[in-house]
Structure 1
């Protein structure tokens, strides 16, 4: 069984070992090979690719739930969607969730994912009580907060070992609905103004028109939200659309992206509008479409996500958005988020400031253009997110992560370099 990332780039043949039990895993790791863990394949680049893969998704049992404290004990292959399906009707939800629920708990820890409430709740690791980790020698360690293996593993992209179990905290909710307010802004200055105005709200995210130019640069639709209190908890999965094949390469181009951006922005009411929407619509709009990655064609795509320090975010984003607009290499998926303070984990991505994520179809000249954006990100003291990356250089990556040598020391201390590696880890030297 050969597995690929969500971005479908790079394509790599691999051999997969299916994780069913810890004893079989120990025997597999003892072999003279190197591995990387693979969950549900929703990381965009090469962070979960190598010649040999440990396929963790089948390791997906629920082990217990402490209703008094909201602590869920489960195996690492459990999907966030499975947690929501079972626990949302009981009045519980994830404290931190990314823009897709189709990822494993192990993947959420390894990427230290964040969501629309980072400015309030932080990363996924903030709700992780503990997890168990199989090391290169087959030993299983229980890792808790402030443990060096906890700090290295959360955000460590699977390079410290194989996560087996985890205990995570859920939050109490009283509705399957979100009360959403949408604010339409005219430019980047207005966008920053409304982000700050509503920074006390638990959830916020903006779709930004990255092809807007001149006085319109940075115009957006900012969505803020909070759970309703209507007692309606009859959550059920919706039926999904499906993209049955890869779109032809010409279907997604500068003209089609501009048309989509114009229509999406135009249809929204001017000023402020309110509505009540369900959990899936607010948190996971793209999950409603199976195989949506196929719209980018057979050559695949990459997501470029960076974060800039708050005091320079406005200037940095304006420069980057101007560069993107002038290039015509825009994305119709352009997501701007406000991030809170960085945590202590060695390779966690968010820092206090603003994060922008954009999807780009793989085509000639793209990586050279992204190298130009890298230089601007570094100029403003920002960094790139490994869970989305497929091409950043070692030099660029290192400059963004001041604790990278602590991570390397842990890898060396536990002899992890011999067993746990990915195409990405070799590329960026971690």
Structure 2
């Protein structure tokens, strides 16, 4: 029976958690702050819960240098839930902005003063001719998000601004040159996945094509950062919203974090009424997917898993203690070091290993490769996985949709574990 210290777990998620965080969480689950009750038993309306949420928000803002004009939300539903929530909320924000433009054209300031039939008619016309959601599809998860948008509001309102498969013989593994992207003129949002867990593709930096225009105006950019958040510095001010599941780099399964510009929330941008959205033929979000509702209630509209927020908060505190001065920049340096160790080992034996994505977009978090010896891939990969497990290197099997090997290099993977994997990669190739 292996001990926890004997295992280097490279699973894609849920991911490895720091042992000391689990130990403190175990105690908190039994008796939190000497209250005689575990943290999972305290009411989500209690001051304990509010303090846990507020501390986690403050520590996340400190670690990532999140500006004051952003709100942090803790939600449920995972990344897949956010595929829907982003559509609901950003389409609603677009309708609010468009309604303000139309009211100005009508010469009225208050919606109640406007002719309602004329207003609805003008909005419908604008929706039919202008409403677009742009998607950069570079892997399996951004593809799912694009498909969900089409399911919710109709494919006529979605724009496949780029499809990476067209640049890579029908498979994911590259990011098409930005000059080829067909971005809409003024989309409700431009959506992309910063790191594709299944396909091992990561944007090397924020796309220049999504920067401010000549007048200094920025598009509404939304990014899924579920698998690389906290691993590198991100230009938060370039995004209108960022979301990520906690279960890869920040905690356990059960909570999803949304970092959103306050200008997309009331009072600056209240969501349209459900009655108006129905008249316009647009979807109304379930209340638990309403950013406006979650923000108004400090993430406590419904019964949030405070235990999972606590774990995330403890992970953040640990990272701030490890990197008190350079914060996320310190972790980024370590992530890059570990990725280099593993990629160098693979590149040293090109006759055995084939790294799946193009070198220009290789993920630092999910290192995807194939193993082939004497023309046999399936058998070679089975032997590789068996040998790795015997050395305590687990969680390396690739996603069921693509196969192969995948080493997920999340923040809790130590440099020592990366070196152990690299040593096995070398020894397996030399056998």
- TM-score, with structure 1 as normaliser: 0.25
Higher helix share: 2
- TM-score, with structure 2 as normaliser: 0.25
Higher strand share: 1
